[in-house]
Amino acid sequence: MQIYLPIADLPVNIFLLLAMGLAVGFISGMFGIGGGFLMTPLLIFIGINPGVAVASVASHIAASSCSGAISYWRRNAIDPALALMLLAGGVIGTGFGVWLFTLLRALDQLDLMIALAYLTLLSIVGALMVLESMRSIIRTRAGMPIALRRPGSHVWFHGLPFKFRFKRSMIYVSAIPVWVIGILIGFIGAIMGIGGGFLLVPMLIYLLRVPTATVIGTSMVLTMVTMASATVLHSVTNHLVDAVLALILIVGGVIGAQFGARAGHKLTGEWLRLLLGLLVLLVGLRFAFQLVVQPDDLYSLRIVEGMP
């Protein structure tokens, strides 16, 4: 069944959109990521204007992370103190990211910068996650004890001042690295048009040693707030949020996220990280492919908005 999208100005199959929402929602619920890095390229692939895709995906991510966050909240799998502190940094980072985004756009090389940023970030993060999780799976198989916490492995930033005890996550770290991570995620999210969950989760796990139990729920709270404000910002600045498109994606997304969250609980941390790492790596390779392989058409067309 075809439905006409009022802002994207395009008819699309409603069931295709629902299925995409479901699939991405499932993945986002399972790994505690927004899924923007999957949904945005998918929408562009079916012919939706990139600006509309990025803007509308924000509300889709907000909805699926909201329903996910509530599920995790009920299981006490959210660290409110940690979430609040990350958010404070995230807001600053987002503001800075939007400023740089505008600057890059004026230079006509935004597409390339986004593709390179996706490629670099996704392949490095994906490869690291795959390697780490495979190592720990092998270690478990060999019967060695899993060293979830390595008390001796103090990194330099553990010596920083403003130490703060995050009770639910059972960690005692300086507030400075938490803020820095928040700023970084907000910044990257604004530049790449993603929630940043797939970066936040490994950062919290590997740098702050947040246990897998609270990491996903906490990351979801951050994603929910940043993406809800991104929806409002996109509506105010460039009027590109397509509410009809968003609604269809949201309905698919929230249902998918519920099943995803349940599936995620059945998997152990290592396998979850391995799967997410593989997924991230795959999307990164897809961007590499697009950059390196000669495009079918060397010319491309773009409507200039608000040109004299």
What does the binding site for other proteins look like in residue numbers (CB under 8 A)? 2-4, 6-7, 9-11, 59-60, 62-68, 70-71, 74, 108-109, 111-112, 116, 224, 228-229, 231-237, 239, 241-244, 246-247, 250-251, 254-255, 257-258, 291-295, 297-304, 307-308
CB nearer other proteins, residue 142 or residue 303: 303
CB nearer other proteins, residue 129 or residue 240: 240
CB nearer other proteins, residue 65 or residue 136: 65
Contact 211, 28 (CB under 8 A): no
189 residue type, one letter = G
CB of 214 to other proteins, least distance (A): 18
CB of 123 to other proteins, least distance (A): 14
DSSP code per residue over 217-236:
HHHHHHHHHHHHHHHHHHHH
CB of 153 to other proteins, least distance (A): 35
CB of 81 to other proteins, least distance (A): 22
CB of 1 to other proteins, least distance (A): 8
Please give the Cα distance from 33 to 181 (Å, whole number).
16
Pairing of strands 163-166, 171-174: antiparallel
Torsion of CA 148, 175, 182, 279, to 10 degrees: -10
CB nearer other proteins, residue 5 or residue 275: 5
Query: Quick one: which H or E segment has residue 252?
Result: helix 243-266
Which residue in the block uniquely carries the two structure tokens 């890095």? Answer: 37
CB nearer other proteins, residue 65 or residue 169: 65
The backbone region for 66, taken as left when phi is positive above 0, alpha when psi lies in -120 to 50, beta otherwise, is alpha
CB of 299 to other proteins, least distance (A): 4
CB nearer other proteins, residue 213 or residue 274: 213
Tokens of 161: 């001042």
CB of 148 to other proteins, least distance (A): 25
Please give the Cα distance from 219 to 79 (Å, whole number).
9
49 residue type, one letter = N
CB nearer other proteins, residue 78 or residue 171: 78
Name the nearest CA neighbour of 181 among 197, 164, 159: 197
CA 207, 208, 212, 214 dihedral sign is negative
